[in-house]
């Protein structure tokens, strides 16, 4: 049982952490703060300036959510600290149990994000979500630059 539980808990907790921890060791903190804050502000401005939709919801449904989700997870997780941790766990524990534990952790976190997104989308108008997201990105970027 520890072969599944230890990777499940470790990978689950590490996934909740921020990937910038690795970047902070490679890039000076001041530069990292300015770059990440500026990126947040840019994304926020782009969201706010994007063509405003009317109250009608455009059909922006992804053609194949399986492939989109798979590609998103593959690219964002490749080489991150949880993947490295999973490899290290496999040197000590049964690799199949480590795989099971890590997959269960990722599944749990993904399901939570999916259901939260679905819950919010059902209760808020897309225009409000878009504006709030844009404003939030600008505020977070400004806070990162100003307060570090």
Q: Which residues contact 24 (CB under 8 A, 6 or more apart)?
A: 32
pLDDT of residue 125: 87
Residue with tokens 């593959």: 74
pLDDT of residue 55: 42
38-67 pLDDT, tens digit per residue, is: 888 888 888 888 765 444 445 555 567 777
109-118 pLDDT, tens digit per residue, is: 889 988 988 8
Q: What is the mean pLDDT of residues 124-140?
A: 86
Looking at every residue in the chain, the average pLDDT score rounds to 78
User: Residue-wise over 102-122: b if at least 16 C-beta within 10 A, else e?
Assistant: bebbbeeeeeeeeeeeeeeee
């Amino acid at each position: 049982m520890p072969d599944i539980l230890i990777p499940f808990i470790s990978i689950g907790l590490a996934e909740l952490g921020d990937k910038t921890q690795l970047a902070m060791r490679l890039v000076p903190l001041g530069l990292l703060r300015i770059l990440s804050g500026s990126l947040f502000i840019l994304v926020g401005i782009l969201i706010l300036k994007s063509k405003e939709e009317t109250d009608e919801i455009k059909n922006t449904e992804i053609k194949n959510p399986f492939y989109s989700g798979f590609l998103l997870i593959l690219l964002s997780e490749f080489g991150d600290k949880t993947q490295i941790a999973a490899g290290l766990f496999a040197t000590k524990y049964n690799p199949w149990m480590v795989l099971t534990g890590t997959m269960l952790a990722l599944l749990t976190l993904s399901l939570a994000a999916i259901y939260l997104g679905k819950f919010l989308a059902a209760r808020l108008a897309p225009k409000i979500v878009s504006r709030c997201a844009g404003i939030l990105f600008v505020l977070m970027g400004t806070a990162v630059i100003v307060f570090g």
